[in-house]
Structure 1
Amino acid sequence: MNFEQAKSIEYAYEAGSFDVAIVGAGHAGCEAAHAASKLGLKTILFTLHLDALANLPCNPSIGGTAKGQLVREIDALGGIMGKVADQCAIQMRMLNRSKGPAVFSPRAQIDRSKYSVMMKKVLENQDNLFIKQGHITDLIVDDGKIVGVMTESKAIYRCKACVVCTGTYMESRTIMGEVISLSGPDGLPRSQGLSKSLKELGLPILRFKTGTPVRVNLASIDLSQMSIQSGEDDIPPFSFENEMKGLQVASIDEQVPCYSIWTTDETRQVIHDNMDRSPLYSGVIEGTGPRYCPSIEDKFVRFKDKSRHQIFVEHMGNDTNEMYLQGFSTSLPEQIQEQMVHSLPGLQKATIQRNAYAIEYDLVDPLSVKPSLESKIVDGLFTAGQVNGSSGYEEAAAQGIVAGINASLKVLNKEPMILTRSQAYIGVLVDDLVTKGTNEPYRMMTSRAEYRLFLRQDNCDRRLTPIGHEIGLIDNERFCLFEQKQAQIIEEKQRLKSTFTGPVPELVKLMEDIGMKPPQSGISLEELIRRPGITYDMVSLIDKNRKDFTTDIKKAVETDIKYEGYLKLEEAKIASFKKLEEKAIPQELDYEVISGLRLEAKQKLNALRPVSVGQASRISGVSPADIAVLLVFLEANKREFKHERL
């Protein structure tokens, strides 16, 4: 509806005027609201329930494979997820240690209720930010541009930009066997009306499904039948600022263990005997579910060669007895869930406190979204998080900070921040969604990133903190700490390169201890560290005058030296990639006039409107030959297009 139509509705009234309105206060909404308000924009954040800000309705954890990289990238830009997670961690681990540093990923088990409380506290104390419990049912658009939002109670809030972050709440319904409830996660209210408003504005709407496992009471289970999975010490904080200040996340003595078990033959039989009551296979569930996080019944159907599946039993927090059964989501009826849980080791007498359920929800087709996360259809309307087809808290938060920044830059009449695939996992995430689209909830994985050796969790600050500072999310004090850290890394690498040692007894012993032949002549400390099996710390035996650096600096120096050759190769690939990314395509270009392009390519390019040749090259159905034709056309017409910018 337009503004005049909104004002004409009975009982409608103007309740306020803001620069940026954020609809939804999940992980995307919280990051978007924090970014916009910190950049000086008068911002309002709407939530269906004030006590559910940054709710963790599924796994009570932050980070994990590829997701940990996203959290640290958010922090490096100036976001808040990492800092809040550091305060609420009850177990810390670094995943993929058996592989190279390119895929090291930090993960924290989180105190669920504390996380929500701490996030609310941070946002309530943020200047320029107003938080309002309210149900947005309509977007108000004049001449193709967002101008406001309307609540269920007919309150109109003017805005210059709007970020929709509805998560899994938009027209959602939860499903447990034959019981279907028109609600959001955890029995919270769902978003109604907004999906219809988006459809009326011309945005394509999809429908997805996800699910969550049961929660059981700790006092009712037998932990002695389970394998213990303890946390790890000396894991760096998610927040680089916390790391630079020497702040430690939960020490090993403060951490709680997780436990692992396996399903049994009885589990499999219970599920097999009740598949006729599974909403997933009876046709009750219409939405598409996540490929990489299937329900337990789906696992037994899809992976018939596996007789059992692993389940992790995890604490929900320090002040609750609730335990989360990771890997055991289901939409089977409550009675069947009881039988399934009681078939598991240590859970024979378990008391279920919350039942599992599946949830369906509406979302916007991400192919209708620009790389800035602004809609291609409505000017000033941005979308972020699961409403764009992603899954996971971290993927949502990553989009939230991008959308919050770009909504603010839009209001300030500045160019958007576009992170490329070579700059960040965030860039990979956004590019995959808006260029390739998705027909299922999208999950970030390290295998999706072509330049993952360059996109490590330990160097997110080097890649993104200068950008965050330039935009205004990183203050001068933090940026000064960052620059000091980088200067120390550069200085130490240069010192190691210019410091030589001969075959002294300490070096001979070091080399012999690891089964290597000692050098016969002088060798630089840099070259020593580059050798397999030798670490920066080990070289201290023959480098006794070195400075006492913090762990993050030592690791950065060691990684840079050991992987220098590989990093140079990757940098060369990135340079080639950037050439195509920097080749802008005019947005008004009619691909039908380009002779030599195949029909499918013309259709795809006209529909998706890529902003660069690089983005065009990643569109399904556009071949390398089509890209060659496009490059020739752009070169031949470059005078006409010389003022175009991404």
Structure 2
Amino acid sequence: MFDKVYDVIVVGAGHAGSEAAASAANMGSSTLLITMNLQNIAQMSCNPAMGGIAKGQIVREIDALGGYSGIVSDTSAIQFKMLNKSKGPAMWSPRVQSDRMRFAEDWRMMLEGTPNLDFYQDMVSGLIIEGGKVAGVKTSLGIEVKAKSVVLTNGTFLNGLIHIGDKNFGGGRAGERAATGITEQLVDLGFQSGRMKTGTPPRVDGRSLDYSKMSEQPGDVVPEKFSYSNITKPLTNQRSCYMTYTSTLVHDLLREGFDRSPMFNGRIKSLGPRYCPSIEDKINRFADKDRHQLFIEPEGWNTCEVYVNGFSTSLPEDVQFKALRSVVGFEKVKFFRPGYAIEYDYFPPTQLRHTLETKLVEGLYFAGQINGTTGYEEAASQGLMAGINASLKVQEREEFVLKRNEAYIGVLIDDLITKGTEEPYRMFTSRAEYRTLLRQDNADFRLTPKGYEIGLASKARLIRMEDKHTKSDKFVQFFKDLSVKADVINPILESKNSAVVNQSGKLFKVFARPNIEMDDVRKIEEVEQYISEHDLDREIIEQTEIQVKYSGYIEKEKNNADKLTRLEDIKIPSNYDYSQIKSMSYEAREKLRKIQPTSISQASRISGVSPNDISVLLVYMGR
């Protein structure tokens, strides 16, 4: 069956695996995607949504590079919201509610339409290693498939164990078996492994809920979309979510099952995501709060299945049911299935290079939850980068690494391999030092040229981006050049309670004021005329407003980023002998030896390495 040697084999077809397979194949590498069940490609295992705080920026970055997540998020969306619009544009984060079934179907159709990509359904039980290099995989049916590189994206399936109350059973997801064999082989090869935990809420029958008792949460009045391409269109019709709350009664009913909770009786010893805690964890950690929000999210356009966001739990199913029936609007709720927790194996990501290639085995890449992350978006971005780099390595081309000042994806991967993680890692805007530069609106400016250069983003995408860039730059220059008289601008300033001007001046300076918005300056005839004559769309108008209003902050961050780049340019030789530097702290030597940073900049971000240690290192390197 498999008489050829593939360039890339991707193991697992979740969000990471799907992006890895798509990127490798689109870059011209012969690619095989192996998964345990082809009916579950790109399954939304938890909530039916893409994007959110910082996560939306990642989806935009994936799209700008030429990945598929943004397009599929648009084609399967049932609601769009731009979060944090009350804050500065660095915090704006797009999010969609998705049709779960359509999301998976659209992903599969896009993958099936991708040249150079083959599929096979089987469980990968081991790797073929020859001379310290990966040479293929072995399946549970005893089939060996040869490859020049392998990307592991096993998600929660490696020795997965599902917990519901005092019951537990093997599984990588509800109704699906766990994957075995790979962890044991990797540990034998010298890899360190650990266990992590995540959870999911119950799914319920929407026909049994009383929405009239809940608060409606509609989408944006003027919805946008994720993809920068013109393949997709914004929604013209949306489905609402709803919000309700737990209560002291609900909390008391849940506490009755704490003695049967695997979280509290010691059966689960691994750490779960700090920022997405289970309902029992929230009750325990925030005992002073008498209620918690629950978001009621429809699973699609036509299904009656509903996701109860905020009620993740591994309590016994009878406790879940009894407590949920005491929530306002849930008095007659019917379950589709209870919530559960799952424990699984992961490999501390400090064992990887920036390309996501392992340090121990050449040609072997890890992406997604196997690296200790949580979230579809975090997984998808790692899959994209692993697929890109596996393909580049096979083609004997230069590796592709994004810096911290270039993308949230760069921040994510650098955090993982430099600092590691002992709990499921989730991306936040606060993790990025240069978030004013890494906005959701300019991901195409930042990354589409790079995606095109490596052969992933299309020429059409590049042309579209360059046209947008040129038009927004010219519009910014228009504001710098246009002088307005005091009697024209002052009525606008007075209406906004902003200080009036005494003489004519450039509109750019007035527009840069915090309380003056594009809608205000569009009242000036020349501005509206310019927009009309140059046929400027919403994207370009928004981009221009951000460039004008935040020009000072953007310039400051660019200067700081340039300083970082200079440190990135000081490379540390591979396998550098840190033991010779006796004047460096023992902890620093051990951390540097273990992580093997590739640059002074990366070394400076390692926990336990002080500025003094860096100064000493520079001296020894002959600075």
Taking structure 1 as the reference length, the TM-score comes to 0.94
**Are positions 1:56 and 2:44 aligned together?**
yes
Could you tell me which of 611, 615, 620 is aligned with 1:628? Answer: 615
Could you tell me which of 468, 484, 494 is aligned with 1:485? Answer: 468
Could you tell me which of 361, 368, 383 is aligned with 1:378? Answer: 361
Q: Distance in 1 between matches of 2:490 and 2:233?
A: 36
Q: Distance in 1 between matches of 2:619 and 2:548?
A: 41
Could you tell me which of 325, 328, 341 is aligned with 1:358? Answer: 341
**Quick check: 1:211–1:359 contact (8 Å CA) kept in 2?**
yes
Q: Deviations over 1:56-88 (max 9, x none)?
A: 010100000000000000001110000000001
- TM-superposed CA distance for 1:14, in Å, is 5.5
- TM-superposed CA distance for 1:15, in Å, is 5.1
Give the fraction of aligned pairs with identical amino acids, expressed as a percent: 44
In structure 1, the residue matched to 2:109 is 121
**Quick check: 2:511–2:548 contact (8 Å CA) kept in 1?**
yes
Q: Mean Cα displacement is larger for which, 519-528 or 336-345?
A: 519-528
Letter in 2 for 1:126: T
Could you tell me which of 485, 489, 492 is aligned with 1:510? Answer: 492
Letter in 1 for 2:600: V
Q: Deviations over 1:246-268 (max 9, x none)?
A: x53212xx111111111012111
Alignment of 1:231-250 (within 5 A): 231-242=219-230, 247-250=232-235
In structure 1, the residue matched to 2:243 is 260
Q: Distance in 1 between matches of 2:458 and 2:2?
A: 35
Q: Distance in 2 between matches of 1:310 and 1:233?
A: 23
Could you tell me which of 532, 543, 550 is aligned with 2:514? Answer: 532
SS at match of 1:504: helix
Could you tell me which of 359, 373, 396 is aligned with 1:413? Answer: 396
In structure 2, the residue matched to 1:340 is 323
Q: Distance in 2 between matches of 1:527 and 1:189?
A: 62
In structure 1, the residue matched to 2:56 is 68
SS at match of 2:523: helix
Q: Mean Cα displacement is larger for which, 261-270 or 68-77?
A: 261-270
In structure 2, the residue matched to 1:545 is 529
Q: Deviations over 1:336-358 (max 9, x none)?
A: 11111111111011000111000
**Quick check: 1:581–1:612 contact (8 Å CA) kept in 2?**
yes
**Are positions 1:330 and 2:285 aligned together?**
no
**Are positions 1:522 and 2:522 aligned together?**
no
SS at match of 1:328: coil
Letter in 2 for 1:461: D
SS at match of 1:62: strand
- TM-superposed CA distance for 1:17, in Å, is 2.0
**Are positions 1:195 and 2:183 aligned together?**
yes
Letter in 1 for 2:290: S
Letter in 2 for 1:550: D
Letter in 1 for 2:121: Q
In structure 1, the residue matched to 2:294 is 311
Aligned length: 618
Could you tell me which of 418, 427, 450 is aligned with 1:467? Answer: 450
- TM-superposed CA distance for 1:528, in Å, is 2.2
Q: Distance in 1 between matches of 2:174 and 2:575?
A: 45
Distance 1:573 1:223, change over 3 A: same
- TM-superposed CA distance for 1:386, in Å, is 0.5
- TM-superposed CA distance for 1:593, in Å, is 1.1
SS at match of 1:282: coil
**Quick check: 1:137–1:197 contact (8 Å CA) kept in 2?**
no
- TM-superposed CA distance for 1:94, in Å, is 0.8
- TM-superposed CA distance for 1:527, in Å, is 1.6
Could you tell me which of 262, 273, 284 is aligned with 1:279? Answer: 262
**Quick check: 1:289–1:440 contact (8 Å CA) kept in 2?**
yes
Q: Deviations over 1:311-335 (max 9, x none)?
A: 1111011121111100101111111
In structure 2, the residue matched to 1:37 is 25
Q: Distance in 2 between matches of 1:249 and 1:578?
A: 37
Alignment of 1:48-197 (within 5 A): 48-197=36-185
In structure 2, the residue matched to 1:560 is 547
**Are positions 1:593 and 2:580 aligned together?**
yes
Q: Distance in 1 between matches of 2:34 and 2:234?
A: 31
SS at match of 2:148: strand
Q: Distance in 1 between matches of 2:499 and 2:293?
A: 44
SS at match of 1:101: coil
SS at match of 1:619: coil
**Quick check: 1:137–1:150 contact (8 Å CA) kept in 2?**
yes
Q: Distance in 2 between matches of 1:621 and 1:478?
A: 43
SS at match of 2:200: strand
**Are positions 1:298 and 2:286 aligned together?**
no
Q: Distance in 2 between matches of 1:481 and 1:552?
A: 12
Q: Distance in 2 between matches of 1:334 and 1:545?
A: 63
- TM-superposed CA distance for 1:289, in Å, is 0.9
- TM-superposed CA distance for 1:511, in Å, is 1.6
Alignment of 1:428-443 (within 5 A): 428-443=411-426
Distance 1:132 1:518, change over 3 A: same
In structure 1, the residue matched to 2:592 is 605
SS at match of 2:314: coil
Q: Distance in 2 between matches of 1:124 and 1:228?
A: 38
**Quick check: 1:89–1:249 contact (8 Å CA) kept in 2?**
no
- TM-superposed CA distance for 1:524, in Å, is 1.4
Q: Distance in 1 between matches of 2:339 and 2:362?
A: 40
Q: Distance in 1 between matches of 2:529 and 2:166?
A: 71
Q: Deviations over 1:561-609 (max 9, x none)?
A: 1111111111111111111112110012100112421111111111110
Unaligned runs of 5+ in 2: none
Letter in 1 for 2:28: G
**Quick check: 1:597–1:626 contact (8 Å CA) kept in 2?**
yes
- TM-superposed CA distance for 1:540, in Å, is 2.0
Could you tell me which of 446, 459, 482 is aligned with 2:429? Answer: 446
Q: Distance in 2 between matches of 1:450 and 1:166?
A: 31
Q: Distance in 1 between matches of 2:310 and 2:385?
A: 30
Letter in 2 for 1:526: F
In structure 2, the residue matched to 1:214 is 202
Unaligned runs of 5+ in 1: 1-12, 637-646
- TM-superposed CA distance for 1:399, in Å, is 0.4
RMSD between aligned alpha carbons? Answer: 1.2
Q: Deviations over 1:512-553 (max 9, x none)?
A: 211223322111121221122222232122224213311111
**Quick check: 2:498–2:515 contact (8 Å CA) kept in 1?**
no
Q: Distance in 2 between matches of 1:388 and 1:477?
A: 34
Q: Mean Cα displacement is larger for which, 531-540 or 293-302?
A: 531-540
Q: Deviations over 1:19-44 (max 9, x none)?
A: 00000000000000000000000000
Letter in 1 for 2:234: V
- TM-superposed CA distance for 1:478, in Å, is 1.6
Taking structure 2 as the reference length, the TM-score comes to 0.97
Q: Distance in 2 between matches of 1:123 and 1:260?
A: 36
Q: Distance in 2 between matches of 1:169 and 1:606?
A: 31
